[in-house]
Amino acid sequence: MDEVARLHFLQDKLRRYNQEYHELDAPTIPDAEYDALYRELVALEARYPDQVGTDSPTQRVGSLELRRNVRLVRHREPMLSLNNGFGFQDLQEFDRRVRTGLGVDEVAYCCEPKFDGLAINLLYREGVLVQGATRGDGEKGEEVTANLMTVKSIPRRMRGSEPWPEWLEVRGEVLMLKKDFERLNERQTRAGERTFVNPRNAAAGALRQLDPAETARRPLVFLAYGVGGGSPEFELPDHQDGLLRWLGTLGFPVAEEVQVVRGESGLRAFFENLSARRASLPYEVDGVVYKVNARIDQQKLGFVTRAPRFALAHKFPAEEALSTVEAIEVQVGRTGTLTPVAHLRPVFVGGVTVTRATLHNDEEIRRKDIRVGDQVWVRRAGDVIPEVVRVVRELRPAGTTAFEMPLTCPVCGSPARRLPEEVSWRCSGGLHCPAQRKQALLHFAGRRAMNVDGLGEKLVDALVERAWVREPADLYRLTLEQWASLPRMARKSAENLVQSLERSKETTLARFLFALGIRQVGERTAHDLALHFVTLEAVMEADETHLQAVADVGPVVAQSLRDFFSAERNRQIIAHLRAQGVHWHENVQESQAVQILAGLTFVLTGTLAHYSREEARNRIEQAGGKVVGSVTRSTHYLVVGRDPGSKVAQARKLDIPVLDEDQWDQLFKEIKA
Ligand code: IVH
C-alpha cells in the first residue's frame, strides 16, 4: 500500500473507531492502539496536506479529547470557534472587513476578555437548568450536568420573574480563579498528588471528574458571554452588551471588564488597557474578543465556515513557553543572599525574549527538581520576573544530577550559612565579599539613600576591582584624578561626581540609616527610626525593647538593628563616614518638619535659580511632601521657576496656589519656625 492509500485507509478506520466509541459505546480496539494509529495518521497528513480534507478524524474541532463512558449530547445550535488575530494589523483588517461588509464608516463593538477556561453550554427550560455540556467537537459535547450543578455561580433556576424563554442555551466559560488554583495545587502537593500546570487544566480536570462530589471540592466559577439557540418566539436584547446585562439580571455572572467602544482606535485602547491589567485580573485571560455590538449587524455579516465574521479573538502573546536550562548560576545579593539563577536557551514569552529566570532558593529548586539540561516551562506574566514553572520530566536527558547549593560563596569563597528560620543561604563574608561590597556601594549611593549622581554599576565594579573602595567612606577619599582615570570617565563627569559626592555629605538621619543597608531596614523604617530617636547615637544604643517602640519595628527588625550596630566593623564604617564629613542636623525641629509637609503634593515647573529639579524634589520629599508630574485638583502648590510651561494656566484654572522660588523657600521657613 502506498502512503496516500495508507492515509485514506487510516482515516476510514479511525472514523469507524470513533463511531463505535462515541455513538455505539462499543469500542473494538484498546485506547493505546487507537492513539498509535491516530499519530501515524497525523504524521502522514503532515506529508500530504492536500489529502487531509475536512472530514478527517484529525480535523474535529474538539478542544477536549472525548472520553469513554460519557454521554454525548447534541447542542441545539453548534458551538463555533472564533477567528484569531495576533497583532494590530489583524485588528485593522478585521475592522475594515466589518465596515465594508456593513457599508458604514464606523462600527460599535462590544469588547470582552477572552476567558482561558472551558466552553460550556447550559440548557434552560422555563428558567430551569436541565442540561450542561462541554463544547466537544462543536456539534456534540460531553454531558456534565451533575458536575456543573456543583458550580455555585451557575444558577440552577434563573433569577427574576417570568416570562422566561421556553428554552434557551446560555454559553460561557468555566474557570478556576488564580488564587483557587494556587490553593488547589498546594493541597495536591501536600496530599502527594499531581499538580496542575495552569488554571485551565485544573478546571478541565475538575469538570471531568466522574464523581461530582470531587468537582464540588474544586472551586470553579462560570462567566457567561452569550447565548446559543433559544425558542424563536422569545425576543432577546438587540445588542451584545444588552444581552450580557440581561444575562446578568437572570443571575449569570458576566465579566466586569466588558465595554462598548467605537472603531479601530477603540478596539486598540481596550486591548492595551486589558493587557496592562491582565496580571491583576482574578482569572486567566488569553486575549480579548471583539464583537459587532448590534445583533442585526452580526446576522448581516454571518459566518465563514466555522467562525463568525462579526467577531475576532485578539490573542495575547503566549505567557508560557518551553526552554532548556543551560546552567544554574549562583548570584550574591547586597545582603549576601545566594540566589540561584537559571540561564535559559533564549525563548520568546509574554512578549519578550527571556534568557534568565530566578530560581529563588535551593528549597524551590528541590521542590521543582530543576536540573541543568532539563526542558522547562518558562512563564512571564505581565511585568513579573520570569520564572520556571515546571520541569518536563519525560524529556529529561540521561545523566543529569540534582542541583547542590555551593558550600562557599562563589565570589569570595567565604563559607555559606543559613539561619534556622530562613530559606536562603548567605555568604558570611560581609563587606569582604566583593559582590556584597559592590551591591552595598550601589545601595549607599542610590537616589533614595545618599543620592550620589552618576555612580553606576560599571564604575562601582571598577572601583572594587582596583580595591580603591572597600567601604563607603572610601568613596569620599578618592581624588579627582583617580575618578578621571577610570575607564570611560570624562573629566567633566569626574568633576560632577566629586561635586555630587560633596553635596551628598549633607544629608538626613533617615537617609543615612537607609544608606547603611541594614537588613530589614527599608526607607520607611529608616524614616520612622530617625523620627523616633532623633540622633544616631540613640538608635545605636537602643535595646530591642526600645527599638520595638517604633511603628512597624518587630522582633526581627529590632534584632537585625542590634546585630548591625553591635558589630565593631559596622561602627567603624559609620565613624569613617562621619570623619569624611557626612553629617545631618540632629534636632527635633528638623525631624518634625518631615511630618509637617506630609500630605502636601507639589508640582514643579520651569528652572529654579538655586535648586536643580532633583534637589528641589529631594527637599520637598525630605520634608515629607510629595512631588508629582501634573497639576490636578489634588495638587496643593505649583512651584514655578524661569520659563514655566502650561502648568501655570492649569493651576490658575483649578485655583491652586502658584509659588515662586522665594515664596516656596518661605514655606520651609514657616514650617520650621
Ligand atoms: S464568543 C461564535 N466570547 O473562545 C463564537 N468566546 O474560539 C462564540 N471564549 O471556546 C464565542 N471568551 O469558549 C466568546 N468573551 C468570549 C469568550 C469566548 C472565551 C472562548 C469560547 C470558545 C473560544 C472560541
| Phi-psi region at 401: left, alpha or beta (left = phi > 0; alpha = psi -120 to 50) | beta
Torsion of CA 225, 320, 388, 187, to 10 degrees: 30
The three-state secondary structure class of 390 is: strand
User: Which band of pLDDT confidence, cut at 50, 70 and 90, is reported for residue 405?
Assistant: very high
In the predicted model, is pLDDT for residue 241 greater than 90?
A: yes
pLDDT of 350 reads 76
Is residue 80 in contact with ligand 1, taking CB distance under 6 Å?
Answer: yes
pLDDT of 21 reads 60
pLDDT of 79 reads 94
In the predicted model, is pLDDT for residue 340 greater than 50?
A: yes
In the predicted model, is pLDDT for residue 30 greater than 60?
A: yes
Alpha carbon nearest to ligand 1 atom 23, residue = 81
Q: What is the pLDDT of residues 439-487, one digit of tens each?
A: 999 999 998 899 998 999 999 999 999 999 999 999 999 999 999 999 9
Is residue 173 in contact with ligand 1, taking CB distance under 6 Å?
Answer: yes
Least confident of 40-44, 101-105, 534-538: 40-44
Q: What is the pLDDT of residues 375-392, one digit of tens each?
A: 998 988 666 678 898 888
What is the CB-side half-sphere exposure of residue 56 using CA atoms within 13 A? 21
**Nearest-atom index, ligand 1, CA of 307:** 2
Query: Is residue 199 within 8 Å of 178, Cβ to Cβ?
Result: yes
Query: Is residue 255 within 8 Å of 223, Cβ to Cβ?
Result: yes
Is residue 408 in contact with ligand 1, taking CB distance under 6 Å?
Answer: no
Q: What is the pLDDT of residues 552-598, one digit of tens each?
A: 789 989 999 999 999 898 999 999 999 999 999 765 444 444 455 66
Q: What is the pLDDT of residues 610-637, one digit of tens each?
A: 778 877 887 787 777 888 889 988 888 8
**What angle, rounded to 10 degrees, do the helices at 31-47 and 3-18 form?**
140
DSSP-H helix ranges across 218-333: 240-249, 263-277, 295-301
Give catalytic residues, as residue numbers. 114
d(CA 314, CA 288): 5
Is residue 289 in contact with ligand 1, taking CB distance under 6 Å?
Answer: yes
pLDDT of 19 reads 73
pLDDT of 25 reads 47
Q: Ligand 1 pocket check: which of 112, 173, 306 to mutate, most ligand atoms within 8 Å of Cβ?
A: 173
Is residue 241 in contact with ligand 1, taking CB distance under 6 Å?
Answer: no
pLDDT of 29 reads 66
pLDDT of 589 reads 43
What are the E-state strand segments in 231-337? 259-262, 285-292, 303-304, 307-308, 311-315, 320-332
Give 392 Cα–ligand 1 centroid separation in angstroms. 30
User: Which band of pLDDT confidence, cut at 50, 70 and 90, is reported for residue 251?
Assistant: very high
Instruction: Indicate the residue type of 186.
Output: E
Give 439 Cα–ligand 1 centroid separation in angstroms. 49
In the predicted model, is pLDDT for residue 286 greater than 70?
A: yes
Tell me which of 589 and 518 has the higher pLDDT: 518
CB neighbour list of residue 177: distance below 8 Å, 6 or more residues apart: 199, 219, 221, 282, 283
Least confident of 290-294, 356-360, 498-502, 511-515: 356-360
Q: Buried (b) or exposed (e) across 257-281, using 16+ Cβ within 10 A?
A: ebbbbeebebbbebbeebbeebeeb
Tell me which of 197 and 649 has the higher pLDDT: 649
Query: Is residue 252 within 8 Å of 226, Cβ to Cβ?
Result: no
Mind spelling out the 3-state secondary structure of 82-140? CCEECCHHHHHHHHHHHHHHHCCCCCEEEEEEEECCEEEEEEEECCEEEEEEECCCCCE
For 470, list phi and psi in degrees, rounded to 5.
-110, -25
Query: Is residue 308 within 8 Å of 82, Cβ to Cβ?
Result: yes
Alpha carbon nearest to ligand 1 atom 12, residue = 114
Tell me what the pLDDT averaged over the chain comes to. Answer: 87
Alpha carbon nearest to ligand 1 atom 10, residue = 119
What are the E-state strand segments in 491-600? 506-507, 583-584
Least confident of 111-115, 248-252, 355-359: 355-359
pLDDT of 24 reads 55
d(CA 134, CA 74): 10
Model-level pTM?
A: 0.53
pLDDT of 673 reads 34
Residue 472's nearest CA partner among 570, 332, 331 is: 570
